[in-house]
Amino acid sequence: MKYIEEFNDPERAGRLLDEIRATVTRPWALMEVCGGQTHSIIRHGIDQLLPEEVELIHGPGCPVCVTPLEVIDKALEIAARPGVVFCSFGDMLRVPGTDRDLFRVKGEGGDVRVVYSPLDALDLARRNPDRQVVFFAIGFETTAPANAMAVHQARRLGLDNFSLLVSHVRVPPAIEAIMAAPGCRVQGFLAAGHVCSVMGTAEYPDLAEKHRVPVVVTGFEPLDILEGVRRAVHQLERGEHRVENAYPRAVREEGNPAALGMIEEVFEVTDRNWRGIGRIPASGWRLNDAFRAYDAEHRFDVSGIRTEEPAVCRAGEVLQGLIKPTECEAFGTACTPRTPLGATMVSSEGACAAYYLYRRMNAPAPRGSRVPQEEMNPVG
């Protein structure tokens, strides 16, 4: 109980934990999809407070971590060009490409700037008509509306010196890929609340039904996560596999119609490579034909880049929940936040960084074996 006093309502946390303990009768493995949830879990020791039977597997929901190496290398190439102002959120600057990162490009004279919004980059384009301003548009469904808005505004203002380097990814196809992967142990999902605040919950019932897994839309505070776990365990013990919204203060079933409308107007679905995982069909967005002129990949012709991941890095297995970060030989030795070999050690949402930051330095003890698939959901 060493961390429980840090919860904003320790009594409620205690009640939720008691209820989970009273409900669980056998081992269950739940995946929290979002890296923000992973950090909250590790920071507050939630996984250590839960009964032994409940294992939390860390998912791929860190946008920095899953941005593919070839896109990082394209960013590096564009950022190094004369006349370019390359804008990004700060956490992308230290993500290693094949042989350098954006900090290195900046140190070598590239005009790389940290911004807090794509609209900041748009403003730079307005004030610097003789420069090409590029914004690094990465992320899940959460960041897509603002990026869509930026390019929509650029067209409205007639700015032809603004473009996006797009690497957007979508959660539901990733869940599909995780469930289809050999060795998958996931029996239920804590879906990312902020993604669902944009997209709503309509994409999840089919996934829950097809794979017979509960999907509980969950927030990010410790109490939110405990509530998500409580509901998921409750469903699993009863043999159910429904979509539940445990984050109603932010998520409506229909999502955010204005944000969805902006995404629909600007982007189209495409296949996307995920760093360490590989190609997932229909798992991303790119600018559609109407906005293709604002696509930095077209504007700067950066096709033909070939990349190779460091052989020692097992971030792909970490991102799919197949191993814990501490099971990677390089964890905490060759690979630390100061010397990251993979994106999961760089990003503030990466699982490797979370384990390092909160001093989880030892490999996990073996848990109870997985319940066979045919015994998972006997009802329905």
Piece of the chain touching ligand SF4 by CB under 6 A; list 67-75, 80-88, 226-234, 341-349: 341-349
State in angstroms the smallest separation of the CB of 49 from ligand SF4. 25
Residue closer to ligand SF4, measured from CB, 65 or 75: 65
Q: Which of residues 309-328 bind ligand SF4 (CB under 6 A)?
A: 312-315, 318, 325, 328
The minimum distance between CB 352 and ligand SF4, in angstroms, equals 3
How far apart are the C-alpha atoms of 215 and 187, rounded to whole Å? 10
Report the chain's terminal Cα–Cα distance, integer Å: 37
The region of 119-127, 136-144, 287-295, 330-338 touching ligand SF4 under the rule CB under 6 A is: 330-338
Q: Is 330 in the site for ligand SF4 (CB under 6 A)?
A: yes
For residues 164 and 294, the answer to whether their CB atoms sit within 8 Å is yes
**Alpha carbons 226 and 99: distance in angstroms, whole number:** 41
Q: Cα(265)–Cα(277) distance, rounded to whole angstroms?
A: 29
- Cβ-based nearer residue to ligand SF4, 244 or 317: 317
Q: Which is nearer to ligand SF4, 22 or 311 (CB)?
A: 311
Helix or strand run (H / E) with residue 100:
none
Q: What phi and psi values does residue 288 have, to the nearest 5 degrees?
A: -80, 175
Binding pattern for the stretch 225-264 against ligand SF4, x by CB under 6 A and - elsewhere: ----------------------------------------
The closest of 108, 74, 131 to 295, measured between CA atoms, is 74
State in angstroms the smallest separation of the CB of 42 from ligand SF4: 14
Q: Residue from 302, 309, 331, 349 that binds ligand SF4 (CB under 6 A)?
A: 331
Tokens encoding 258: 């204005």
Separation of alpha carbons 72 and 95, rounded Å:
8
Nearest to 87 by CA among 97, 79, 96: 79
Q: In angstroms, give the least distance from the CB of 370 to ligand SF4.
A: 22
- Report CA-CA distances (Å) from 113 to 49, 133, 161: 41, 10, 16
In the stretch 110-139, what mask flags binding to ligand SF4 with x, by CB under 6 A?
Answer: ------------------------------
Site for ligand SF4 in 73-102 (CB under 6 A): none
Residue 371's contacts (CB-CB under 8 Å, 6 or more residues apart) are 26, 27, 28, 187
Cα–Cα distance list, 331 to 43, 44, 341, 352 (Å): 18, 21, 9, 8
Query: Which one, 171 or 352, has the nearer CB to ligand SF4?
Result: 352
Residue number with CB closer to ligand SF4 (260 or 322):
322
What is the spatial distance between Cα 264 and Cα 281, in angstroms, rounded to a whole number? 18
Number of residues that bind ligand SF4 (CB under 6 A): 15
Cβ proximity to ligand SF4: between 285 and 356 the closer is 356
Give which of 244, 250, 319, 313 is closest to 33, Cα–Cα: 319
Residues 174, 178, 179: CA angle, nearest 5 degrees: 120
Q: What is the nearest approach in angstroms of ligand SF4 to the Cβ of residue 314?
A: 4
Q: Does 352 bind ligand SF4 (CB under 6 A)?
A: yes
> Cα dihedral sign for 40, 366, 315, 236?
negative
Choices 14-22, 73-81, 179-187, 337-345 (CB under 6 A): range interacting with ligand SF4 = 337-345
Q: Which two tokens stand for residue 244?
A: 């539940």
CB of 118 to ligand SF4, least distance (A): 27
Q: For residue 266, how many other CB atoms are within 10 A of its CB? A: 25
Nearest CB to ligand SF4, comparing residues 93 and 263: 93
State the minimum distance, in angstroms, from the CB of residue 280 to ligand SF4: 19
Looking at beta carbons only, is 172 or 325 nearer to ligand SF4? 325
User: Which residues contribute to the site for ligand SF4 (CB under 6 A)?
Assistant: 312-315, 318, 325, 328, 330-331, 335, 341-342, 344-345, 352
